[in-house]
Structure 1
């Protein structure tokens, strides 16, 4: 959820904070089987997830909330573990086994040839947090719909794109928030992922969860 912070709105789990930035010492290195890949100058095993380099961030939630920015690590955790973007707890409804999800025009894209499915960069929202989110988040006042979904799976990333420079230097191409599919290895090798996108399946309208 993004926008100017309403005074009564608690800070959602997924929102970035000002002091959570981390250095991004990037370079291109040659892979064992040939070809160049974006990496860090001090690589860690946890840097590459789903075949793409993930941007490093801190995870201590210190500093002023950055209402227009998501913390990469917490957004990723929410997507992979189906956690609520507001409270950070499990979002799946234990009574139904389905996952409540708020979609918006900016964070959701239909898949024309797959009925009741779509791609989203916004994590799920648990049933308990949906009414508060809809009433307090300015962006959700513009366009939103409440669904339940059967399952989700990683499908793509939003990424900053880089190209190799002299001496292995990583040169930013000027491209931000580029959608790169996890099935596009040539692009993934040049991408620094900032958000994980999942495909959600079997969307069913759930207006009754709005409050």
Structure 2
């Protein structure tokens, strides 16, 4: 009698809270409507939550986490929620420590220094709670090389990463080909022609965390 040996199953990997799924992508039509200042990018059928308080038009996404995980893409709504509420990008729970400081792990791809203040950094990467940092280091390929880890004391909104558009002859929205453009909120004229995908924050009062180096 032949004994059937079940095939080994691959271990399930937890998909970080901030990662987008294929079933969440949306392509709601956008165009250039008119307001008292001229033309500006907007959805054809506007909805609550399209705009943030600084006037950035946010890309619409679903929230069901259905389909396949898109490991290189962040869900716009969850990325903003993590930044605004200081939630861990892995588990989605509050990342703030008991002392009020927030742990943050950063790679060169998602951070840059403030030219006017060397002690300040700008990033699109949400925080990572202390409990999830070991898992993040093990599973994220970007953290297998060099990265920096900080305990952050100050967080402020800086701007967005956005795709740029220009109006066509019939006010249709035509992509310019410029993607992931950094737009500070003070440059409101650029926000009028941009579809924002990620929120950028300003990190200050940074203290190094002793977990740097490859995993």
5+ residue gaps, structure 2, are 1-9
Alignment of 1:155 with 2:155, yes or no, is no
After TM superposition, the score normalised by the length of structure 2 is 0.90
| Structure-2 separation of matches of 1:165 and 1:177 | 21
Instruction: Give the Cα separation in 2 of the matches to 1:208 and 1:105.
Output: 16
Q: RMSD across aligned C-alpha pairs, in angstroms?
A: 1.7
Partner of 1:165: 168
Question: Which segments of structure 1 move beyond 6 Å, counting only runs of 4 or more?
Answer: none
Deviations 1:110-140 (A, max 9, x none): 1132242110010000010011111221111
1:3 alignment counterpart? none
Q: Distance in 2 between matches of 1:138 and 1:88?
A: 20
Q: Is the 8 A contact 1:127 1:209 kept in 2?
A: no
- CA deviations on 1:70-105 (whole Å, 9 max, x unpaired) are 0000001001110000000000002x1100000110
Distance 1:133 1:173, change over 3 A: same
Q: Which residue of structure 2 aligns with residue 65 of structure 1?
A: 69
Instruction: Structure 1: state its 5+ residue gaps.
Output: 1-5
Three-state SS of the structure 2 residue aligned to 1:200 is strand
Matching residue of 2:43: 40
* Contact 1:163–1:171 (Cα < 8 Å) also in 2: yes
Structure number with larger C-alpha Rg: 2
Q: Is the 8 A contact 2:113 2:122 kept in 1?
A: yes
Asked if residue 24 in structure 1 is aligned to residue 25 in structure 2, the reply is no
Contact 2:146–2:212 (CA under 8 A) maintained in structure 1? no
Distance in structure 2 (CA, Å) of the matches to 1:129 and 1:69: 19
Q: Which moved more, 1:136-145 or 1:188-197?
A: 136-145
**Are 2:128 and 1:122 equivalent residues in the alignment?**
no
User: Does the CA-based 8 Å contact 1:131-1:209 persist in structure 2?
Assistant: no
For residue 104 of structure 1, what is the aligned residue in structure 2? Answer: 107
